[in-house]
Amino acid sequence: MIRIFVANLTHWDQRVCLRIFKWNGIRLFDGLMLAFSRLGDGYLYAIIGILVAWMDRANASVFWKTGVLAFAFELILYKLLKTKIKRTRPFHVIAEIKYLIKPPDEFSFPSGHTAAAFVMATLLSAFYPELSFYAYVSASLIGLSRVYNGVHYPTDVIAGSFLGTICALSSLFISM
């Protein structure tokens, strides 16, 4: 039963991954997906932290403490899962997929870019609810960009979104 479920999930994952990857070649999408993927590299999160410290001194200390804790949780769990699961990236498995950006490491599960994006989206939503929609749309586009650029499967991104959200919620629970 579990083998059948895993086989079906893998088949679905590969099919959807290839379908999304085939959107490549549309100039507007190519540029947007590259930009969103780069947004997930981490620099944006530091800039957001600096902006919070500058614009909202009342919440800056708690925001920073919660953020550091959430990103620490996310990084530890992300590394642990990557090294234990060792899932091969799509461009190694599906002949039609070529990576359009250099992957940061060897394995694909979970998506660290997506996990970090959802950490920040969850933190921003907790501290600044009016930004929730924009934060989660941006985090989702960062995740989609990782599939579009050939370095992740959809389930890598889904797992990354859950990982990031759980890490952020845990740190909010501890810090508040």
Annotated catalytic residue 113: yes
Query: In this structure, which long-range contacts are made by residues 98-107, counting pairs with CB atoms below 8 Å and at least 24 apart in sequence?
Result: 98/150, 99/149, 99/150, 99/151, 100/24, 100/30, 100/33, 100/34, 100/148, 100/149, 100/150, 101/34, 101/37, 101/149, 101/150, 101/151, 103/151, 107/82, 107/83
Q: Which of 82, 87, 89, 113 is catalytic?
A: 113
Residue 159: left (phi > 0), alpha (psi -120 to 50), or beta?
alpha
Region of residue 86 (left: phi > 0; alpha: psi -120 to 50; beta: else): left
92 counts as catalytic: no
| Look-up of token digits 């990031």 | 164
Catalytic residue among 152, 163, 165, 166: 152
Q: Please give the positions annotated as active site.
A: 113, 152
